[in-house]
Amino acid sequence: MQHARRPLRVIQWATGTIGRRSLRAVLEHPHMELAGVHVQTPDKAGRDAGELCGTGPTGVTTTHDIDAILGLGADCVLYMPRAADDDEVCALLASGANMVTTAGGFHHPAGLDPALKERVEDACARGGTSLHSTGSSPGFITEAVPLVLAPLQRRLETLTIHEYADLSRRNSPGLLFDVMGFGQVPTAAFGERRLAHLRSSFGPSLRLVADALGLPLDAVEAHGRLATAARTTAIAAGRLSAGTVAAQRTTVSGLRGGRTLLRFHSTWYCATDLDPAWDLRPTGWHVTVDGDTPLDIDMRFPVPLDRMGAVSPGYTAHRAVNAVPAVCAAAPGVRTTVDLPLFTAALG
């Protein structure tokens, strides 16, 4: 593999909660070298990268200048803004830097807007680069895990992924309040926006898995409901007022032949005192497979709630970092979980 010849030179793009954990993982990786750090706001520029993730000095200075990043000649960019910018993505790929992104959007290339797909594939061809979308969810639990379980089956009725996330100790006010909509007064328009977002976020993963199984989906549907805070509550991200959104439950279903084949069912909550009351599980995943070899699997996060905010970013960031060697070795183009070989962590 490439890292056996020399360390892979990696750029960290964006240093939010996930990006900071990714940055630290690159600095600690035995086969990677930090080439540069792009920050989203000018006030973070001009600092040593180690300041942003709690390590010692690195000698790498952060920048807000994309041209400075394009000129570094790095092997890969860990691209982790909240949302992908198509112009940035294409410029980075065309510069010769492969990309692993947790911003999503590229889990199922066949479903991309044709014009965007052509732009990205052209950038990959010019740069000789590949692009891969991953993370914990979508990514690990919606693609890697189902594809590992599938070889046990010869008949699949339904595969369901239940995700539970207690976000009360997640100190990310921008994500929870501005992006996810916790703390807002529930409205029909809010519910529709969230459903559309989750359908576009998780639907591509379901389609990817279904295609890999030779059972392409006819449609992807989403429905959900909200619960509000029964009383005003202080959470790590701020204040959650009584009567505002405190829990969201959404189901994204992949349909084939008029029935559900694959399903992602999420329950995300910032408080447990809810109106109406819901049955809640601790943070983790529960996967059920109904078929000729049925399965029922619990994957729990054995972390005290007061440490969850410190530990949980690793579930997303580390898979992206561990994917870098496989993505750098891949043929140019958008590469999915199905395209890449099984990769693991290099820990020593």
Q: What are 165-201's pLDDT values in tens digits?
A: 999 988 889 889 998 999 999 988 888 888 999 999 9
Asked if residue 119 and residue 162 are part of one domain, the reply reads no
Range of the structural domain that residue 256 is part of: 154-292
Supply the pTM of this predicted model.
0.93
Instruction: Tally Cβ neighbours within 10 Å of residue 112.
Output: 18
**Are 104 and 60 part of one and the same domain?**
yes
Please answer whether residues 99 and 93 qualify as being in contact, where contact means their C-beta atoms are separated by less than 8 angstroms.
yes
Residue 309 lies in a domain: no
Q: Would you say residue 147 lies in a domain?
A: no
Are 35 and 115 members of one domain? yes
* Number of domains composing the chain: 2
**pLDDT at res. 1:** 36
Residue 305 is assigned to a structural domain of this protein: no
User: 47: domain CATH number?
Assistant: 3.40.50.720
Q: Is residue 340 part of a domain?
A: no
Domain co-membership, 245 together with 132: no
Who wins on pLDDT, 307 or 94? 94
Residues 6+ apart with CB under 8 A from 245: 181, 182, 183, 184, 185, 186, 190, 226, 227, 228, 229
Statement: residue 40 has pLDDT above 50? yes
Q: Which of 269, 148, 273 is nearest to 213 (CA)?
A: 148
Binning pLDDT at 50, 70 and 90, where does residue 306 land? confident
Backbone phi and psi for residue 255, each to the nearest 5 degrees, phi listed first: -105, 140
The answer to whether residues 159 and 271 belong to one domain is yes
pLDDT value at position 5? 72
pLDDT tops 80 at residue 2: no
Q: Are residues 221 and 318 in the same domain?
A: no
Q: How far apart are CA 138 and CA 104, in angstroms?
A: 8
Give residue-wise pLDDT tens across range 309-343: 889 999 999 999 999 999 999 999 999 999 999 99
Collapsing DSSP states into helix, strand and coil, what is residue 343?
Answer: coil
Kindly state the percentage of the chain with pLDDT values over 70: 99
Q: What is the mean pLDDT of the chain?
A: 95
Identify whether 43 is part of a domain: yes
Quick one: average pLDDT of 45-74? Answer: 95
Q: Does 169 lie in the same domain as 60?
A: no
Assess whether 202 and 73 both reside in one domain.
Answer: no
**pLDDT in the model for residue 189:** 85
93 lies in the same domain as 192: no
Q: Give residue 252's pLDDT.
A: 98
The arrangement of strands across the sheet holding 219-229 comes to 274-275, 219-229, 245-256, 259-269, 156-166, 284-291, 295-300
Whether 175 and 100 map to the same domain: the answer is no
Q: Do both 191 and 160 map to the same domain?
A: yes
The answer as to whether 346 is a domain residue is no
Whether residue 302 is contained in a domain is answered as no
Question: What's the pLDDT tens digit per position in 104-145?
Answer: 899 999 999 999 999 999 999 999 999 999 999 999 999 999
Q: Is residue 19 part of a domain?
A: yes
Split at pLDDT 50, 70, 90, the class of 78 is very high
Query: Are residues 133 and 200 in contact, defined by beta-carbon separation less than 8 angstroms?
Result: no
CB 246 within 8 A of CB 225: no
Residue 170 is predicted with a pLDDT of: 85
Q: Are residues 185 and 264 in the same domain?
A: yes
Closest by alpha carbon to 204, among 346, 343, 109? 109
Residue 262's H or E segment, with its range, is strand 259-269
Q: How high is the pLDDT of residue 3?
A: 41
